[in-house]
Structure 1
Amino acid sequence: MSKTNPGRFFEDYRLGETIRHAVPRTIAEGERALYAALYPQRFAVQSSDAFALDCGLDGSPMDDLAVFHTVFGKTVPDISLNAVANLGYAEGRFLRSVWPGDTLRAESEVIGLKQNSNGRSGVVWVRTTGLNQTGDPVLSYVRWVMVRKRDIDAPAPETVIPGLGDAVPADALCVPEGLDFDGYDFTLAGEPHRVSDYAIGERIDHVDAVTVEEAEHMLATRLWQNTAKVHFDATHRADGRRLIYGGHIISLARALSFNGLANAQFVAAINAGAHANPCFAGDTVRAWSEVLDVARLRDGIGALRLRTVATRGAAFALRDDAGAYLPDVLLDLDYWVLMPG
């Protein structure tokens, strides 16, 4: 009997099954330093214990997207090791803060299956939950992935496509326990803008750009223990190029958004997301955002629903006349952030 694991193929999934992913991970201060080294991350709450204490927290929590990448990485060997593409996200909610010293693990429930018409692959929908060492959920999200079949003659499962919400409602957003922006220092945060300074439909060019290097995206892929072959195995593609992990682009776009959204201190939800085109080392990534909604959650705390687009091209260019993403567009992400109200 083989001791190695080739990963799951499309015909290996069963609707309703729960997959407990291997290798829990204890998060330390080292992850915070590496995250800051990989991305130009400057959000004050995740950078400074003193700033976080002034905002009512016990100290500086881990960056929300570092938590997302850690949980996502746990799922890759079981969900997307043999993926053709990661197709989208929905109903992502950050449920509680994660601190250095917390241990994260992940579970996924298969909630949808659909074989593609070519019979060689299919789409798998999973709802993944990240849990801490006490079993409390810290993150939940849905993603769907196109996965190869091992045997093209294997019978197709019954098609089940889950109904998913267009966006997490503002009243379902979780505010970190103790968070209080009454003593918020806008000068130390980097910008004066609060929720009321933004309007629905407003678009922001984040101006700055980052050229992706081979070394940094490989370090990121290994850091998050993401074992997907297309990201680290140069022989997996005929052109010998390694795809940049989509989460790397999400974090780059979030970090670049600081210029114009410096007070968006927390990512509260991921409503939808599409990796529109592949990214490779040598590409220069820029970002722009559009305000989709504005919400007041409680006194002093508000939320913006944003569309942030990562691109190799010009700001505010998204789709062609036929409605398809332009070839320079890398990421189209719809999400909620928390900031002073």
Structure 2
Amino acid sequence: MGNFFEDFSIGQKIIHPLPRTISEGDVSLYIAFTGSRFALHSSNEVAKQMGYDKRPIDDTLMFHLTFGKSVQDVSLNAIANLGYAEIAFPNPVYIGDTVSMTSDVIGLKENSNGKSGVVYVHSIGVNQNGDEVLNFKRWVMVHKKDKETSSGINEVPTFAKTTPILDKINLPEIKCVDTDSTGGKFFFEDYEAGERLNHPDGITVDNSDHTLATKLYQNNAKVHFNDHMMKSSPMGQRLMYGGIVISMARTLSFNGLQNAQNIYSINSGAHANPTYAGDTIYAYTEVLETIDHKREDLGLLRLRTIAVTNQKSSEIENPKGEDGKYLKNVVLDLDYTVVIPKKKTKK
């Protein structure tokens, strides 16, 4: 039946079951669901040229496959996944690696309506060697089992505004970047803080897309899986897993950020409004900061990608209205940092 709000306690450690060995099929299906075109994750030859032994899998795919381990223990009875913070991708993951996850409960806040509460967890994913591949914090609204009894608990953790950037980045030295292969000519030095990239494409996500994707990630949250149950809810239909929206926004960002192959971290994220089957997702990206790392082959860009539904992103000037609240068709506000090669690596 999954855990309800009362089943969690501060300091509780959860070892999530079902380790997942990542296969070629996972990668192919991810491309089929998202249309992602980043060359490093598509071609072994491009990966070898850039300094890898073989292609790493897309960081967002790894996030979904690892994140999915936590759902049955943390968010099976969720009303909504509310946000993320301090998401780090410490090491690349490859086909054949096995990922697993544990979580610590770091905060609890009962809602004033007495029907639900917010659970805060710190989750760590590792590969078969025990190397960290994912480290993140998230908070999720979960149903209460007993709606008549109030605990009054209100312990909310604080989060860093941005994920710390370490002196050591565990990626191979970038040997060279063939812009004919990646499809992009822009490198670290070409971007400026404050500029905005309006990504021209839109992606419509059908019921079959998000249903199969959520099954692939073994994310069995009822709000995504159970159409029969959700038809009687106020929404009247299943919610799309927010991670799919992240993947779509990342896919759309390819136009303008073709050489930003790796995600270093996700600093914060908000699913501003729900997304449903049939919605068409558009996105734009603001460059918040350019970070010149001490490595000579790469730099980092801190980005803010806004995803909207059923309206071209170029038509939206600000994701929030005059009242400070998100516009109703803004579905994602993602603050994240990517690794991008410097011009010296250009082939």
TM-score by length of 1: 0.95
Instruction: Give the Å deviation of 1:85.
Output: 1.0
Moved more, 152-161 or 67-76: 152-161
The aligned residue for residue 186 of structure 1 is: 179
For the Cα contact (< 8 Å) 1:123–1:147, is it kept in 2? yes
Matched residue SS, 1:35: helix
Change (3 A) 1:89 1:24: same
Distance, in Å, in 2 between the alignment partners of 1:278 and 1:112 is: 24
Matched, 1:212 2:205: yes
Distance, in Å, in 2 between the alignment partners of 1:140 and 1:76 is: 15
For the Cα contact (< 8 Å) 1:62–1:100, is it kept in 2? yes
Matched, 1:311 2:308: yes
Aligned length: 334
Instruction: Give the Å deviation of 1:144.
Output: 0.3
The superposition leaves residues 39-80 of structure 1 with CA deviations (integer Å, 9 ceiling, x where unpaired) of 111111111111111111111011100110011111000111
Give percent identity, aligned residues only: 48
Distance, in Å, in 2 between the alignment partners of 1:201 and 1:325 is: 21
The superposition leaves residues 16-60 of structure 1 with CA deviations (integer Å, 9 ceiling, x where unpaired) of 111000111100111110011111111111111111111111110
The aligned residue for residue 48 of structure 2 is: 53
Instruction: Give the Å deviation of 1:191.
Output: 1.1
Distance, in Å, in 2 between the alignment partners of 1:207 and 1:243 is: 25
Which residue, 8, 12, 31 being the options, matches 1:36?
Answer: 31
The aligned residue for residue 224 of structure 1 is: 217
Instruction: Give the Å deviation of 1:168.
Output: 1.2
Matched residue SS, 1:171: coil
Moved >3 Å (runs of 4+) = none
Superposed CA RMSD in Å reads 1.3
Moved more, 264-273 or 112-121: 112-121
Instruction: Give the Å deviation of 1:154.
Output: 3.7
Moved more, 183-192 or 255-264: 183-192
Which residue, 62, 72, 76 being the options, matches 1:77?
Answer: 72
For the Cα contact (< 8 Å) 2:286–2:304, is it kept in 1? yes
TM-score by length of 2: 0.93
The aligned residue for residue 339 of structure 2 is: 338
Distance, in Å, in 2 between the alignment partners of 1:212 and 1:220 is: 11
Matched residue SS, 1:254: helix
For the Cα contact (< 8 Å) 2:173–2:297, is it kept in 1? no
Which residue, 93, 110, 117 being the options, matches 2:112?
Answer: 117
Matched residue SS, 2:109: strand
The aligned residue for residue 177 of structure 1 is: 171
Distance, in Å, in 1 between the alignment partners of 2:154 and 2:249 is: 35
Q: Which runs of 5+ in 2 are unaligned?
A: 343-347
Distance, in Å, in 1 between the alignment partners of 2:74 and 2:280 is: 29
The aligned residue for residue 3 of structure 1 is: none
Distance, in Å, in 2 between the alignment partners of 1:103 and 1:13 is: 28
